[in-house]
Amino acid sequence: MRRGIRYPFTHDIAALIKIVRQAGLPLPPDSENLPFVTPFGTLFRYEDEEARVPDSVDSARLLGWAESTLAWAQSNMGE
């Protein structure tokens, strides 16, 4: 539990974003796009799963979202 919020241990980024939003906490930039990263949390562990990422989402975009989210998280670590 962090900040009084119970959260499940899951790779489902959309579900985690919903919990954060309901708690009224700030979300990282591009948070609406982060659910596209969810398949990669399991693909490397469970190779039989198939990624369902739209063709319009390329690896450069995914990496950009991940990097901006990491920078956002690092800047908020002191809070």
Domain positions in the chain are 13-75
CA–CA separation, 71 and 29 (whole Å): 10
Q: What is the mean pLDDT of the chain?
A: 80
What pLDDT does 39 receive?
A: 75
Q: Which pLDDT band, with edges at 50, 70 and 90, does 43 fall under?
A: low
pTM of the model: 0.68
- Residue 40's alpha-carbon distances to 13, 23, 34, 46, 47, in angstroms, are 11, 26, 11, 10, 10
